[in-house]
A and B are shown apart, each in its own frame.
Chain A
Amino acid sequence: MRIGIPQELMPLPFMAWLKEQLSRHKEIEWHHKPTHKSKKIMLSEGDACHPFKSMVRTSIDLLPEIDTLLIPRLVKLDSHLMCPNFRALPDIVRLNINNICPEFAGKLNDITVDSSTSDEDNRVLIRLVKQLFAQNISAKNIVKKKQIPASLASKETTFPQKTIALLGHPYLLENNHLNMGITRQLSSLGYQITTPKDIPFKNLDALARKGDYYAKTNYWRSSREILGAFHYYTNIRKPAGIIYLIAFNCGVDALMRIELVSLHAKLPQTIPFMVLVGDEHTEQEHTATRLEAYLDIIDGI
């Protein structure tokens, strides 16, 4: 069976777990087309953030070579909400399929994921296996999500010299097309990179709780991950610098950016912090220039 998942979704830990679990029940040929600029004219080319537009394009491009396009409707992961765009993503993809390639109309699977516990994740998997393979599986056969070693417990308070922490949505941190090649550029300049992926989400969530009060919890999962990581990198284990990658017009990051800049200004010891906003640029000179200036600051400290 050939299943396609847009590559931009794969950096989400839930998606990696789902893929691994599905592979245990059936031989699957996975397809994740590399992100690229599709020539097809989509309905979703308005003012959405570019990772979202990219997800829609990749999804459409996958269709001719797969049996099922799997785009779960990610409402809630790890007890926290995803941004509204993830709720709408399957619908926007369906709309584009109907408009551009109606012959593939039946290929989309948009199972809803609204999970707060691993039991609920398991229930999603059981339903999905039933939908895709017409198989019944028991929760006992499901392997739990891999837990990252609790690195917060590490006694280290610094990273190796020349380590830069990157903050941002997982798809921005791991997709070179979406992050304008920042990770590649940093590596080529001799810097190591650390990201929130190296820290268990529950630890980041606990750190993010500092800013919550009553009903005013920062309710998006990605916000909590970014905020928690900022606290971690500024208070627990300090890198040489922090770069916050943002996709232009991301509503979640627009607010988080204000909070992080405010927190950074109050730090007793300054860690160079840069916000880098990217869009669908075809060249990378602008990021290279900013990066060079930023690294000059770090090297000068």
Chain B
Amino acid sequence: MIITFPHLGSMYVFCKAIAESAGIPYVLPPATSDRTREIGEFHTNESVCLPLKMILGNFIEALEAGADTIVMVGSGPPCRLGLYDRTIKIILDDLGYKYRWLTIPGIFNFQAFLQNHAETKELKKELSPLNIAKFPGAIMIGWRKMRWCEHLERLAATKRAVASSPRLVDLAYSRGMEAIDAAKSLFDIARAGKQAVAELEAINETGITPLKVMIVGEVYTVMEPTINLGIERRLGYAGVATHRSSYFSTHIRRGSRLDRKILKERNELIKLADPYFKYDVGAECNFSVAETIKAARDGYDGVVHVYPFSCMPETNAATVLATVASEHKIPVLSFALDRKDMGLRIDTQIEAFVDIMKMKKDGVTCV
């Protein structure tokens, strides 16, 4: 058994740590590239959302590199994410790949339990008692690594905007991620994390108060820089500090329904979006709207809304955000993302968006 998993922000560090610590062989898919996207595009169609194309590309590249067992996070209705595994399996089968599939249920219900039982029946035979005994510790290591990675992501997203040289932030961030990824014990993880934080904090600052932007939108698009074309980094280089609520650990805590605080926050956000959406449209739609309203109330300078082209829930959110922006007097920039060759367009739009935010902050009004 050689497992593989898709790229989703820093999730690979979590999955890799679990596999390594539990002694399970794995193949990390090559970093998501133009080839990954082109593979996904070639085997799907124009209206399939970008995350599915990227994940499919990740899996094909991993299977080509020797993986034989795909581990995929599941989800439920009403958005298409709940049917990614069904669709990807059809494509892989048609292409003649031999593989096993393990879905990590997004929602823990009886059907998910039955599916997990069926999928793991054969896989369990290939695991030794030692692998299984190491599993709780492996999850602990993976979790700590992911939390540190996310902490670095947060720090870098604000530091870029104020650093004299944002490039130094990128370098320190990359070094920190590599060190955390390479750490083998909880002690080593904490040491690597603290050192990376110290390096980031030591970078010289311009002293200019940065603009503050909230990033909202579809989960995968918000979290994966190869899909959103490094929107956080691009904004950071333009002197904008970015914040977001969507991190892999947040979604694990939401999915497990154990963290009452997060569930309460979600309910409050649903209420916040109520003047615009009287019903939960699905996925992050209502939350994109609610977080924009909250950002306006919390004094943010603007909101960037990212979603894959053809995403059903977020298309509705984009429509509503046009009104939210004018009613709550907050600039909103929406990006429907698909092909990768739109980086320069994003830079141009960001430049104009930054100008608008600056003008608003300085009280300049257009006639």
- A residues apposed to B, CB below 8 Å: 43-44, 46-48, 73, 75, 81, 83-85, 87-88, 90-92, 95, 98-99, 110, 112, 211, 213-216, 218-220, 246, 248-255, 257-259, 262, 265, 277
Whether B311 contacts A87 by the Cβ 8 Å rule is no
Interface flags, B73-98, vs A, CB<8A=1, else 0 = 01011111011011100110110000
Nearest first, the 10 A-B pairs at minimum CB distance are A214-B115, A254-B47, A88-B316, A215-B111, A84-B282, A251-B312, A219-B77, A84-B312, A254-B48, A88-B281
Q: Given the complex, which residues of A lie within 8 Å of B309, measured CB to CB?
A: 47, 249
CA of A215 to CA of B278 in the docked complex: distance in angstroms?
Answer: 28
Is B49 positioned at the interface, with any CB of A under 8 Å from its CB?
yes
Beyond contacts A85-B312, A91-B276, A246-B47: 16 other A-B pairs, Cβ-Cβ < 8 A, are A47-B336, A85-B315, A91-B316, A92-B319, A92-B320, A98-B323, A214-B118, A248-B46, A251-B310, A251-B312, A254-B48, A255-B48, A255-B80, A257-B45, A258-B44, A277-B46
**CB < 8 Å: which of B91, B115, B118, B311 contacts A251?**
B311
**CB < 8 Å: which of B79, B90, B278 contacts A84?**
B79
22 A-B pairs with CB atoms under 8 Å apart are A43-B322, A47-B309, A81-B77, A84-B78, A84-B79, A91-B277, A91-B279, A91-B316, A99-B323, A211-B86, A214-B115, A215-B74, A215-B76, A218-B86, A219-B83, A249-B310, A254-B45, A254-B49, A255-B48, A255-B80, A255-B83, A277-B46
Q: Given the complex, which residues of A lie within 8 Å of B315, measured CB to CB?
A: 46-48, 85
Interface flags, B313-333, vs A, CB<8A=1, else 0 = 101101110110000000000
Is B105 positioned at the interface, with any CB of A under 8 Å from its CB?
yes
Whether A95 contacts B310 by the Cβ 8 Å rule is no
CA of A249 to CA of B74 in the docked complex: distance in angstroms?
Answer: 23
Nearest CB in chain B to that of A88: its residue? B316
Interface flags, B56-76, vs A, CB<8A=1, else 0 = 000000000000000000101
Interface flags, B295-319, vs A, CB<8A=1, else 0 = 0000000000000011111011011
Q: Given the complex, which residues of A lie within 8 Å of B111, measured CB to CB?
A: 214-215
CA of A87 to CA of B44 in the docked complex: distance in angstroms?
Answer: 26
Whether B310 contacts A219 by the Cβ 8 Å rule is no
Whether A215 contacts B115 by the Cβ 8 Å rule is yes
Nearest CB in chain B to that of A95: its residue? B323
CA of A162 to CA of B316 in the docked complex: distance in angstroms?
Answer: 41
**CB < 8 Å: which of B49, B112, B281 contacts A215?**
B112
Most buried by B among A98, A215, A219: A215
| Closest-CB distance, B190 to chain A (whole angstroms) | 37
Q: Given the complex, which residues of A lie within 8 Å of B93, measured CB to CB?
A: 262
Q: Given the complex, which residues of B lie within 8 Å of A211, measured CB to CB?
A: 86
Nearest CB in chain B to that of A80: its residue? B77
Is B114 positioned at the interface, with any CB of A under 8 Å from its CB?
yes
| Closest-CB distance, A26 to chain B (whole angstroms) | 26
**With A83-B78, A248-B47, A250-B47 in contact, is A75–B86 under 8 Å at CB?**
no
CA of A91 to CA of B312 in the docked complex: distance in angstroms?
Answer: 14
| Closest-CB distance, B138 to chain A (whole angstroms) | 25
Is B141 positioned at the interface, with any CB of A under 8 Å from its CB?
no
Q: Given the complex, which residues of B lie within 8 Å of A213, measured CB to CB?
A: 115
Is B109 positioned at the interface, with any CB of A under 8 Å from its CB?
yes
Is B285 positioned at the interface, with any CB of A under 8 Å from its CB?
yes
Is B280 positioned at the interface, with any CB of A under 8 Å from its CB?
yes
Whether A88 contacts B285 by the Cβ 8 Å rule is yes
**CB < 8 Å: which of A85, A112, A215, A216 contacts B279?**
A112
